[in-house]
Structure 1
């Protein structure tokens, strides 16, 4: 598929253009020292880590299971984590949505306190972090893997079941610069979160496992 950076691959995927479903594994350098991991599209995986491609392919070939799923299976992720001195984060559903014009659909109050627990946690994974408080929930927006915009939402237990997660996920789309897209990761087992983001217009594009320094 030629020599292309991760940011370009992600931008294409946001527009509906994916790597060829040829069963291959593309190995790319880390976009930044903080970011390493694996993204699996349909029958094509991208490993972004400062590792020898020959080692990646040799390690994957040693897995007796399905070669299409091997890049996100425990044997390879464990080996990659040990080799890089990192910890495997969750294997998430990766989804993306385009910007929406106009103001967000609910009032949002920016959180200015940089010591706020949600700000501190978000800064472990993202730059240009912005946190907004809503009545019953929190919206996080920031620059994550390869500079992409990423969002996450939290809904208070007392506010659940009223569609607030979907509204917050929609609000993130209104906060983007024009022409950009926003990415979100959902744990596949968290069905309410998956449903909320899909109801807010986020399109599933693949699966992702990040390797983080220290415990996630």
Structure 2
């Protein structure tokens, strides 16, 4: 049976990774919205509906370390041009397990489908649910490969009080399956919050989004924590 992107992600959540052989696996996209690259230890996964041979030929033509070739800016730029998509940052890819019991802080679910945070999240994910607490917002939705992803937002006037960590901890109580997060490596506050809440890094990713008119409203920082 052909391995899918979701198969690879589910295995990584269990601690089972592609072979550390310096190779690259090419799989089809799960949906039109997302294409890109996942980088694990000494193995990469390119998820795209483009010709796999084009991917391999482009990688062979790079003058760089083969282990890092798929995250090389030259390859990513070629993939952007080939697919007509737009790129964002290269993020750390983190995952954690669900935690039973009630969340450690009071949350109120947002019922308004037109709420700016939900409108913004729908650009990147499906099946969006969002909650508010005093000073923050927590969002869950299905993103790359259909995995469940979390993002949070903390108001400026309540940062540095541990709310970001509390929110990403609370997210673990709202699901019965592995929970994923994408965090910019340079966002040290966000990284510390996720690590302290029990999320573990499993690789890196570069997601290329289909070009579309930008939605109005919402924060420019979708993934991660601003404390």
Question: Shorter-chain TM-score category?
Answer: over 0.9
Once the two structures are superposed, the pairs formed by residues 63-212 of structure 1 within 5 Å of their partners are: 63-177=62-176, 180-212=177-209
Does the aligned pair in 1 maintain the 2:34–2:210 contact within 8 Å? no
Partner of 2:34: helix, strand, or coil?
coil
In structure 1, distance between residues paired with 2:211 and 2:21: 34
Q: Deviations over 1:55-102 (max 9, x none)?
A: 101111111111111101211111101111100121100000000001
Flag as ranges the 4+ runs of structure 1 deviating above 2 A: none
In structure 1, distance between residues paired with 2:39 and 2:147: 17
Work out whether 1:55 is the aligned partner of 2:54. yes
Work out whether 1:37 is the aligned partner of 2:36. yes
Partner of 1:51: helix, strand, or coil?
coil
Unaligned 5+ runs, structure 1 = none
Partner of 1:83: helix, strand, or coil?
helix
In structure 1, distance between residues paired with 2:32 and 2:160: 39
In structure 1, distance between residues paired with 2:25 and 2:88: 20
Unaligned 5+ runs, structure 2 = 215-227
Does the aligned pair in 1 maintain the 2:32–2:210 contact within 8 Å? no
Partner of 1:87: helix, strand, or coil?
strand
In structure 2, distance between residues paired with 1:66 and 1:121: 37
Superposed CA RMSD in Å reads 1.2
Deviation at residue 3 of structure 1 after TM alignment: 3.1
Give aligned pairs, total: 213
Deviation at residue 53 of structure 1 after TM alignment: 1.2
In structure 2, distance between residues paired with 1:36 and 1:168: 28
Q: What's the TM-score once normalised by structure 2's chain length?
A: 0.91
